[in-house]
Structure 1
Amino acid sequence: MVAELVTERSRSVTEVPVFEPPNPRTLEPPNPLSMLYDNHGRKINYVRLAVTDRCNLRCFYCMPEEGITYVDKHDLLSYEEMTRLVQLLVDMGIDKVRITGGEPFVRRDMMDFLRHISQIPGLRQINITTNGTTTAPLVPELKAIGIKSVNLSMDTLDPDRFFEITRRNVFKEVMNTFHALLEHGITTKINAVVMDGKNIDDLIPMAELTKNHPVSVRFIEEMPFNGEGSHYPVLNWDHRRILEHLRGAFPNLEKLPDPPNSTSYNYQIPGFKGDIGIIAAYTRTFCGTCNRIRITPQGGLKTCLYDSGVFNVRDLMREGASNEQIRDTFLVALGNRAKDGWEAEKNRNFGLPVTESMSTIGG
């Protein structure tokens, strides 16, 4: 839980470099017989599996108000295909799966799928990212299945701003999920995308949420995955400015050690139960220790959030490929992985700008 991440604190804020790109401190010599490694020596043990592109919100930073054109059900990975894929990846060394969407729980029979993959030997951790709108009644069963952690997307604590950002009036339902997660002792992280002119007034109140709750509130740079391209010509609220803003309210903010492969720079306000993370999602300073791959709802492999897709595992399965053939294809893809998000973006679609929605990628 959060407490495990904060056992060692830096003695003072000034002793810790701020927002320097992390050294590849977790890299290990490649051993392809037992684990997945990319061509830069980074061990891959984490997959983000998007189970649907559908969502019941219309968040400003994720998709246009009218929504997106959803793919046909037949074009989505089936539960059987996803179970086979997870088993195959676990056999290759993946031990952590994050279920994402879209919103995972708008897909029918999701709990049955979670129960099935939770029984796969070697799968150490299943985490979920959800918007929380329909999740509260499911929390007891999620706990029973063994879900370790839930990331709750919540960009504001103000109901009116919540409606403005999401275009839906379901703030109460999301807060019900928040309290249910805490009640059942599931590690909870709040994901808040920082949007210029939208929720800047929420940064301090959300940080204060960590005073009495053992949660991690993570402030995320806005990315261009909204179905339209970037909202802003420049990113006004990058990780440095977010930190500066927080330090203005909490001058004694302490730097915490960042866990291996962490995407966030982590802090704590002395005396508070929870902690704060800042994710340089657009600035991309954490690529050197990236241990994750993504599978889109249609089965596309993305070895980087910013690439345009490497190959389609759904098509391989439906063409009758054996596990060995699929495994070899993954190895080839990871042997040609971009060194960071900037290179991946440069190589995508002949340099065309990003225009897809995050819900089609996997949040």
Structure 2
Amino acid sequence: MLLDAQQRVINYVRLSVTDRCNLRCTYCMPADMKFAKKDTLLTDEEIITVLSTLAAAGVSKVRITGGEPFLRPGLLSLLEKIHNIEGIANIAVTTNGVLTSDYIPALKKLGADHINLSLDTLQADRFIKITRRDSFAAVIKTFDSLLAHQLQVKINMVVMDNVNTDEINDFVALTKDAPVSVRFIEEMPFNGQGHGFSGINWNYHRILETISVQYQLQKLSDAPNTTSINYRIPGHQGSIGVIPAYSRTFCGSCNRLRIAANGGVRTCLYGNDVLNLKKLINTGQPLMPAIIDALNARYADGFEAEKHASLDKASMSLIGG
């Protein structure tokens, strides 16, 4: 069992398999993003080494992120190897949906049936403005296919001031006739561009107030360690949730590690890398002592971690979603 400095159990890993992305979302990265060289990224063998080590210490859930995971060559083969690691009981994937539709049957067969789909607008023209790419039709195709194949789908919508707040209740409406969970996420300061963000203007309270004007919200019981505050609406098949990503109300129960595509480890989204697993593997050093040391130095919450970090130019693509 892995414990951090506050005696929180760590049993969940968010693993970025690539920093590359086929979109250029304004809240995530600059238009001209510079990506890491391929030889600096974790290989499949290194990923399996890392996850096997963590699984032996009690990690049971892995979420695959990016960048866009499906830009990594051989992703399905890698997922199959992860699926075969003893102790890994749950594999989930976060994707932007541009390339995903063709892989959905294989994902279901592998048991990677928890899919988070990043989608910040239901308007094709606005999609282009937010992502700087014309791929809306491909994302909607993926969404429809995920539902048709009965995968567990969550839509992640980043709420941005003066960008898409007028669509909040349009997203809520998606839950009426489909068993989908829509999660509204406070914007965070990781756009890689060094300018402001709207997390303060649209916090989770304001998002819920906007929804409650049109819908009756019934509180759901939140799962242990969840980052979202969840609700149902009478007569709707699906559910909604708000993620206080900037307000950081969930820090006290955080159970996760973040591993970047280059092997960098963050014990908090708002902190800096505390070690690099690829370097440890390449120099023949054991992983677990370094991971334990990092967890023993973990800050109590994201506010404390932020005080000791440099985040001005960080990109969510580099951090791992």
Question: Does structure 2 conserve the Cα–Cα contact (< 8 Å) formed by 1:61 and 1:222?
Answer: yes
Matched, 1:117 2:75: no
Q: Determine which of 293, 299, 305 is the counterpart of 1:338.
A: 299
Q: Whole-Å Cα distance in 2 between the matches of residues 128 and 234 of structure 1? A: 25
- SS of corresponding position for 1:98: strand
- SS of corresponding position for 2:185: strand
* Counterpart in the other structure of 1:286: 250
Q: Determine which of 276, 280, 294 is the counterpart of 1:312.
A: 276
Matched, 1:103 2:64: no
Structure 1 length-normalised TM: 0.87
* Counterpart in the other structure of 2:231: 267
User: Could you tell me how far 1:353 is from its partner in structure 2?
Assistant: 4.1
Identity between Structure 1 and Structure 2 (%) = 50
Q: Determine which of 29, 34, 45 is the counterpart of 1:63.
A: 29
Summarize deviations over 1:268-315 as a string: whole Å, max 9, x none: 111100000000000101000000010011101100001111000100
| RMSD between aligned residues | 1.0
Q: Determine which of 131, 135, 141 is the counterpart of 1:166.
A: 131
Q: Whole-Å Cα distance in 2 between the matches of residues 246 and 76 of structure 1? A: 41
* Counterpart in the other structure of 2:166: 201
Matched, 1:154 2:154: no
Structure 2 length-normalised TM: 0.98
Question: Does structure 1 conserve the Cα–Cα contact (< 8 Å) formed by 2:187 and 2:199?
Answer: no
Question: How many positions carry a matched residue from both structures?
Answer: 321
Summarize deviations over 1:77-124 as a string: whole Å, max 9, x none: 111100111111100100000000000001111111011111111110
* Counterpart in the other structure of 2:7: 41
User: Could you tell me how far 1:234 is from its partner in structure 2?
Assistant: 6.7
* Counterpart in the other structure of 1:10: none
Q: Whole-Å Cα distance in 2 between the matches of residues 178 and 76 of structure 1? A: 29
User: Could you tell me how far 1:230 is from its partner in structure 2?
Assistant: 4.4
- SS of corresponding position for 2:34: coil
Summarize deviations over 1:124-168 as a string: whole Å, max 9, x none: 000000000000010000000111300000011111111111111
Report the residue type matching 2:72 in the other structure. Answer: R
* Counterpart in the other structure of 1:244: 209
* Counterpart in the other structure of 1:326: 287
Q: Determine which of 145, 148, 158 is the counterpart of 1:183.
A: 148
Matched, 1:357 2:296: no
Runs of 4+ in 1 over 2 A off after TM superposition: 229-234
Q: Whole-Å Cα distance in 2 between the matches of residues 216 and 238 of structure 1? A: 19
Q: Whole-Å Cα distance in 1 between the matches of residues 134 and 74 of structure 2? A: 25
Identify unmatched segments of 5+ residues in structure 1: 1-34
Question: Does structure 2 conserve the Cα–Cα contact (< 8 Å) formed by 1:61 and 1:225?
Answer: yes
Aligned CA distance change for structure 1 residues 234 and 120 (closer, same or farther; 3 Å)? closer
* Counterpart in the other structure of 2:54: 89
Report the residue type matching 2:238 in the other structure. Answer: G
Q: Whole-Å Cα distance in 2 between the matches of residues 115 and 313 of structure 1? A: 22
Question: Does structure 2 conserve the Cα–Cα contact (< 8 Å) formed by 1:223 and 1:230?
Answer: no
Q: Which has the larger radius of gyration?
A: 1
